[in-house]
C-alpha cells in the first residue's frame, strides 16, 4: 500500500469525524497531497466516513480529470473543490470540508464571522475568511473560486456561506485539529447566542496573542492526532488497513 502512514492518518481523521457526528455519510471530503508539488492527492471514495480504511483512499491527479473516474470514485464536487485547491494553493497540503452542525449554522447567519469569545475561537482570529458568494455545488468553477480565497497563507479556515466549513493545512494533524476546534468553538458561540445575553468578546490584542500562542505547534498537533489514533488502535484498528 503506497503512502501507508499518510493514508492511516487521514483514515483516522475520517473515523473520528464520524464519532463526533461531523459527517454526512458518504458526502464531504478530506484530501492530502502526496507528491512534492501537491498535485497528486489522497481522497475518499463514496464510502461512509465511519467505514473508511487507509486502503480505500484514492490517489487523484489534480491535472487529470480521468483519474477521478471509475467505480466508487469520489463525487464530482470532490474533484471540483479539492483538485482546485491542490492546483492553486501550494500550502494546502491537506484540505478538509464538512457540513458539521455548528459550523453550518454559523455559515447560515448574516454575519458568519466567528468572533474571539474564548480560547478556542481565538485560534481563528484574523485567520479565517467568510465566503459570501455561494454559487451552488462545488463543481469545477465554484471550486476554483473558493481556492482563490486562500491566497493569504495565514488564512486557513473558510466559513463557506450557506454551505459549511473548509479547513486547510500542511499536515493531517494540523488540519484536523483546526477542524475539530472550529466546530467546538462554533458550538460555544451558537449556544452563547441562544442565551440572548451579551457575549464577552476578547480585545483585538488578547485575541491576536492567544491565536499566535496556539499557532504552528507541530508537537501539540501531533499529540492531538496520536491521542485519537491510540483510541482507534484499541477500539477500531481496521482504519489503518
Q: What is the pLDDT of residues 79-90, one digit of tens each?
A: 899 999 999 999
The overall average pLDDT reported for the chain is 95
The ranges assigned to domains in the chain are 4-240
Distance (Å, rounded) from C-alpha 82 to C-alpha 43?
Answer: 9
Q: What is the pLDDT of residues 138-171, one digit of tens each?
A: 677 888 999 999 999 999 999 999 999 999 999 9
Contact 47, 56 (CB under 8 A): yes
Which of 127-136, 168-177, 186-195, 223-232 is the least confident region?
A: 127-136
Distance (Å, rounded) from C-alpha 153 to C-alpha 210?
Answer: 19
pTM for this prediction? 0.96
Of residues 102 and 77, more confidently modeled:
102
Q: What is the pLDDT of residues 57-81, one digit of tens each?
A: 999 999 999 999 988 888 888 889 9
Segment 204-218 shows an average pLDDT of 96
Contact 125, 211 (CB under 8 A): yes
Segment 97-114 shows an average pLDDT of 98
Secondary structure (DSSP) of 200-228: -PPPHHHHHHHHHHTSS-HHHHHHHHHHH
Strand, coil or helix: 170: coil
Distance (Å, rounded) from C-alpha 155 to C-alpha 153?
Answer: 5
Q: Cα–chain-centroid distance for residue 104?
A: 13
Task: Write down the pLDDT at residue 139.
Answer: 75
Closest CA to 100 of 182, 169, 32: 182
Query: How many CB atoms are closer than 10 A to CB 235?
Result: 10
Task: Write down the pLDDT at residue 73.
Answer: 87
Secondary structure (DSSP) of 73-91: PPPHHHIIIIIHHHHH-TT
Q: What is the pLDDT of residues 19-54, one digit of tens each?
A: 999 998 888 999 999 999 999 999 999 999 999 999
Class of domain 4-240 (CATH, top level):
alpha beta
Strand, coil or helix: 3: coil
Q: What is the pLDDT of residues 2-25, one digit of tens each?
A: 999 999 999 999 999 999 999 988
Q: pLDDT class for 137, splitting at 50, 70, 90?
A: confident
**Contacting residues for 79 by C-beta, under 8 A, at least 6 apart:** 60, 65, 68, 140, 143
Task: Write down the pLDDT at residue 30.
Answer: 98
* 216-225 b/e (C-beta count within 10 Å ≥ 16 → b): eeeeebbebb
Distance (Å, rounded) from C-alpha 151 to C-alpha 88?
Answer: 9
> Grid coordinates representing 189?
458561540
Contact 68, 29 (CB under 8 A): no
Which of 40-44, 69-73, 200-204, 212-216 is the least confident region?
A: 69-73
Q: pLDDT class for 136, splitting at 50, 70, 90?
A: confident
Amino acid at each position: 500500500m503506497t503512502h501507508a502512514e499518510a493514508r492511516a492518518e487521514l483514515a483516522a481523521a475520517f473515523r473520528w469525524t464520524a464519532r463526533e457526528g461531523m459527517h454526512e455519510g458518504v458526502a464531504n471530503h478530506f484530501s492530502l497531497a502526496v507528491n512534492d508539488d501537491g498535485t497528486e492527492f489522497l481522497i475518499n471514495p463514496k464510502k461512509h466516513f465511519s467505514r473508511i480504511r487507509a486502503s480505500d483512499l484514492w490517489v487523484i491527479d489534480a491535472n487529470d480529470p480521468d483519474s477521478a473516474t471509475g467505480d466508487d470514485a469520489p463525487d464530482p464536487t470532490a474533484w471540483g473543490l479539492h483538485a482546485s485547491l491542490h492546483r492553486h494553493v501550494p500550502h494546502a497540503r491537506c484540505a478538509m470540508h464538512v457540513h458539521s452542525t455548528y459550523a453550518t449554522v454559523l455559515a447560515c447567519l448574516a454575519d458568519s464571522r466567528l468572533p474571539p469569545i474564548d480560547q478556542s475561537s481565538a485560534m481563528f482570529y484574523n485567520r479565517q475568511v467568510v465566503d459570501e458568494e455561494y454559487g451552488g455545488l462545488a463543481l469545477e468553477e465554484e471550486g476554483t473560486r473558493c481556492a482563490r480565497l486562500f491566497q493569504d497563507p495565514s488564512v486557513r479556515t473558510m466559513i463557506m456561506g450557506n454551505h459549511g466549513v473548509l479547513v486547510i493545512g500542511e499536515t493531517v494533524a494540523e488540519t484536523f485539529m483546526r477542524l475539530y476546534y472550529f466546530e467546538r468553538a462554533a458550538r460555544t458561540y451558537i449556544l452563547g447566542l441562544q442565551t440572548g445575553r451579551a457575549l464577552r468578546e476578547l480585545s483585538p490584542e488578547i485575541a491576536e496573542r492567544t491565536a499566535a500562542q496556539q499557532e504552528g505547534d507541530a508537537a501539540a498537533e501531533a499529540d492531538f492526532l496520536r491521542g485519537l489514533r491510540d483510541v482507534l488502535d484499541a477500539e477500531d484498528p481496521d482504519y489503518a488497513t
